[in-house]
């Protein structure tokens, strides 16, 4: 009798497991409509065109890779400056984005909105259309000028998939170093 119960228990669990895998599931989306990345994007690089303090013509580049199996397209990226020797202001209207890397630029990407929030020291970039999985993109932020204080400046990078209820994913920090000129 006990063996029969164990047999039924094992059989019912096996059948239930089998049927669960047959249910249709949309990749990167929960039943409540929340979207997420199945496999995380990667922050590949952060760089600047000029590493000296006080330079007006600099641009800060952040390269992000969205893997083929990400599950959802990339809709938004937020860059937030971490506590640093000096806070940097940006020109949101001069933000650029393109396929590829800083050194190997591809076609330009359409930025729906670029918004600078000086209270949170964050720049939010929204793409329209969203970036499909399998892409490498680079975003170029335009500061008013490089900081006047030499040192290491960190920018947290957070990405959001497409969707009304998008689950953010923190990719880590992009690190920029600025040096004092000794003329």
pLDDT at 20: 38
Quickly tell me which residue has 């059948």 as its tokens: 15
What is the pLDDT at residue 12? 52
Please report the pLDDT score of residue 181 as a whole number.
81
Distance CA 91, CA 124 (A): 12
pLDDT along the chain (183 residues), means of 10: 48 45 47 85 98 97 97 97 94 98 96 96 97 98 97 98 92 97 72
Query: In order of start, what are the domains of the chain with their CATH numbers?
Result: 2-178 (2.60.40.3550)
3-state secondary structure 159-170: EEECCCEECCEE
Identify the pLDDT of residue 1: 54
pTM, entire model? 0.83
b/e map 125-148, b = 16+ CB within 10 Å: bbbeebbebebbbbbbbbbeebbe
Q: What is the structure's pLDDT at 23? A: 40
In angstroms, the CA 169 to CA 76 distance is 11
């Amino acid at each position: 009798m006990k063996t029969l119960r164990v047999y039924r228990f094992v059989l019912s669990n096996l059948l239930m497991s089998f049927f669960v895998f047959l249910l249709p599931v949309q990749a990167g989306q929960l039943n409540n409509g929340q979207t997420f990345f199945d496999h995380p994007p990667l922050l590949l690089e952060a760089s600047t065109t000029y590493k000296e303090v006080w330079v007006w013509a600099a641009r800060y580049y952040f390269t992000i890779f969205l893997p083929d199996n990400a599950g959802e397209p990339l809709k938004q990226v937020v860059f937030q400056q971490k506590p640093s020797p000096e806070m940097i202001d940006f020109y949101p209207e001069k933000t650029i984005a393109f396929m590829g890397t800083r050194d190997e630029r591809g076609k330009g990407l359409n930025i729906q909105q670029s918004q600078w929030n000086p209270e949170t020291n964050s720049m939010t970039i929204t793409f329209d259309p969203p970036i499909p999985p399998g892409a490498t993109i680079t975003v170029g932020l335009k500061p008013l000028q490089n900081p006047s204080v030499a040192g290491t400046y960190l920018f947290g990078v957070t990405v959001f998939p497409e969707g009304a209820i998008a689950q953010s994913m923190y990719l880590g920090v992009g690190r920029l170093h600025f040096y004092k000129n000794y003329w």
